[in-house]
Amino acid sequence: MTPDVTIVIPCYKVGKYLAQTLQSVLTQTHDNLQIIAVDDCSPDDTAQVIRQFESKDSRLQGIYLSQNSGVSVARNAGLDAALSPWVAFVDGDDWLPPNAIETLLALQARTGADFVCANARQYSDTGETGELHFRRQAGLHELTIGNGLDTFWPHQDIFCTCWAKLFPTAILRDRQMRFDAALRHAQDTLFTLTYLLTVRPKVAIDYGAEVYCYRQNPASCVHAIPLEKRLNSLELLISALDNLAQSTRQPRRLAAPKSAEYLWALRKFSASDAQRDELLRKLLSSPLFGEHIQPVLRQFGKFKHRMLLRLLSAGLTSALRFW
């Protein structure tokens, strides 16, 4: 029987958590699934855990990359092997509630949407329950993303991840959509937004349905990435998002959150005041700032972002440390 949903799980150095992840996927109330766990050449026992589960359940397929290539390559490998009409993504240190896939499929059947999103619950590294991940809206929302994005902007936060969603496999393949291997940070933001703006699908979002358990893992790639690589990925992402907005004739607001995040990363992750000031000076004279960050935040940034730009333009670079 053809599976209804393929679940792609990129795995790197998650042996500590992976058994919980795989168990949660294999015990879904909707069990007609294909599960693809991609080991990105992990140095720990990640591959061993996959093989143990693979030997016990034929729905699970392990893919073992010969060299560490990043989460984009791992997700793309899973996409290439997908057999089902729908694909979902789960990170190797997160897990699913028992009825997650059943809930997403029911939402799709009820709305006829080409893209289905629901909510996630945050958990600490030790499993303590936290807040809902997406909190700005409530209830069920059905959107048609046509020529304008008026209905899009209030939900922009939920579109910044690829998990807690269902993507149609046929459309992804027809549009040759891939995760950008050059990005080591926020690859799913670019992937999801590119899908939305190029396909313009009918979208269903249920903020009241919790279909994903997001572990705030301090050792994950998002938290452990070095500053230089973090900034490099943000540079690529900001440029790509801004170019995407302009190529699809949409407001450049699309790149505003990541433009602000770049400045925040300079303040938060610099090892010293001297490093922060040096990186800031380089940024202010760069094409990235002049062509993307400055015009985007000047028009679409929050008040604090616009004020910071004015201070930086006046030469008060020390303002960043207090922002």
- pLDDT tens, N- to C-terminus, the chain (323 residues): 899 999 999 999 999 999 999 999 999 999 999 999 999 999 999 999 999 999 999 999 999 999 999 999 999 999 999 999 999 999 999 999 999 999 999 999 999 999 999 999 999 988 888 899 997 778 899 998 765 677 888 898 999 999 999 999 999 999 999 999 988 778 999 999 999 999 999 999 999 999 999 998 766 555 557 898 889 989 999 999 999 999 988 889 999 999 999 999 999 999 998 999 999 999 999 999 999 999 999 999 999 999 999 998 888 888 887 77
The span from the CA of 106 to the CA of 180, in Å, is: 30
Instruction: Name which of 287, 283, 288 is nearest 270 in CA terms.
Output: 283
pLDDT confidence of residue 148: 65
Structural domains of the chain sorted by starting position, each given as residue range(s) with its CATH number in brackets = 5-221 (3.90.550.10), 226-322 (no CATH)
Per-residue model confidence (pLDDT) at position 101: 98
pTM above 0.75, yes or no: yes
Alpha carbon of residue 259 to chain centroid: 16
Q: What is the pLDDT of residue 165?
A: 98
Phi-psi region of 275 (alpha: psi -120 to 50; beta: other; left: phi over 0): alpha
How high is the pLDDT of residue 240? 93
**Tokens matching residue 184:** 């080591």
At 58, give phi and psi (nearest 5°). Answer: -70, -15
- Adjacent-strand bridge partners of 5: 33, 86
CB-based contacts of 168: which residues, under 8 Å, 6+ apart? 85, 86, 87, 114, 115, 201
Q: What is the pLDDT of residue 236?
A: 93
Rounded Cα–Cα distance for residues 320 and 282 (Å): 14
Quick one: 171 exposed, middle or buried, by C-beta within 10 A (0-12, 13-18, 19+)?
Answer: middle
At 224 the pLDDT is: 59
